Amino acid sequence: MTKPLPTTASQRSETLGALIKRSRPAVVTIVVYDRRGRELGFGSGFFTSPNGQILTNHHVVEGAWSAKARTAEGVTYPVQVLLADDRKSDLARLMIFADRNMPYLKISAERPQAGDRVVVLGSPFGLDQTVTEGIVSAIPEQRADQNDLEAATLQITAAISEGSSGGPVMNSRGEVVGVATAFMREGENLNFAVPLERILTLDRNQPRTFAQLLHPRKPVVAKDYYIDGLALSRLQDCQEGLAYFKKALDRDAKFAEAWWGRGQCLLDDGRPNDAVAAFDHAVQLQPDFASAHYDLGLAYADQGRRDLATREYGVLKTLSPDLARKLQDYIVSDAPHPLSVRGVKH
């Protein structure tokens, strides 16, 4: 019987290199700030969905007034809302509003076992996209009685340093099996991660901004409701999204962005005529609102009203040549296209 050939060092490196190349675009550096915009610290995180959801540690964002996520491409996005924040599990789920689908990592369905190979990506000491490799040293059951470890009960040999917190711990298939969170300064190669089961049971809360979490008694303004509505619409919860856009408009009937967000939800809810009316209201209130003109043009094109869609194209040629080209391509195409990624003002 023929035995499989042993894996050579070069083959192993190539496999690891391919995994890293595929995973790196989904990993971000998270920088947190105080109320005055001064940097408080940084950590790591990673996208878990194409709509901009990021998983990180609770302690990375704890006490922050705002935060930004910097991608492997060097693009920085403001973190708009927290979707979940669990101190006990030391996990937080954030969301950015981007104008495109984001690369993301898959969460594993299988728990790792002692001896399994793992890879960690993160930003130790601010060194973006640093890679370390190791094995699983111990699984949660073996560390259940270590109260000082709290939630971080997946022990690994892959090195973790300050700034690595929140980075993904991945198996050999590039699937997330833990979130890097702690290391012991006194020990040698003693590193810990939040295990898979805590990731899978992290519940989503009502979207909230940092300011809303830090000051729950602070009066809610129209912009707060608008941001919550955008987050809900990106989470495919259009009914709740519409309710929050309505709250924003109840506070400020001339809030153009809220009319735009309402239009996006109405389209997803299968109400194109109402959506057109909402987009039109947005551009009447804010004539230079490029994204609203663009979505209005798309909606007109879907209705077969190409003359009106072309009118919006003419407006966009001045406001945003890139969106104008996209709308023109949409108008002349025979095949229907999905609307642009929702939730971003271009």
Residue 295 corresponds to which tokens in the numbers above? Answer: 């979505």
Residue 293 corresponds to which tokens in the numbers above? Answer: 């003109």
Cα within 13 Å of Cα(109), Cβ side: 0
288 catalytic residue (yes or no): no
Q: Which of 59, 161, 302, 346 is catalytic?
A: 59
Alpha helices in the chain (DSSP H): 9-23, 58-61, 196-200, 210-214, 222-234, 238-251, 256-268, 272-285, 290-302, 306-319, 321-332
DSSP conformation class of 304: T
Q: What is the 3-state secondary structure (H, E, C) of 252-269?
A: CCCCHHHHHHHHHHHHHC
- Could you tell me the sign of the dihedral formed by the alpha carbons of 43, 54, 215, 198, in that order? negative
59 catalytic residue (yes or no): yes
Q: Which of 165, 233, 291, 340 is catalytic?
A: 165
Contact between 232 and 268 (Cβ < 8 Å): no
- First CA to last CA distance, the chain: 62
Residue 227 corresponds to which tokens in the numbers above? Answer: 């941001």
Q: Which of 90, 268, 280, 295 is catalytic?
A: 90
**231-259: burial string, b at 16+ Cβ within 10 Å, e else:** bbbbbebbebbbebbebbbebeeebbbbb
CA distance 43 to 124: 8
Contact between 31 and 65 (Cβ < 8 Å): no
CA distance 141 to 41: 32
CA distance 114 to 135: 7
Q: Other CB atoms closer than 10 Å to residue 178's CB: what's the count?
A: 30
Q: Which amino acid is at 191?
A: N
165 catalytic residue (yes or no): yes
Catalogue the active-site residues. 59, 90, 165
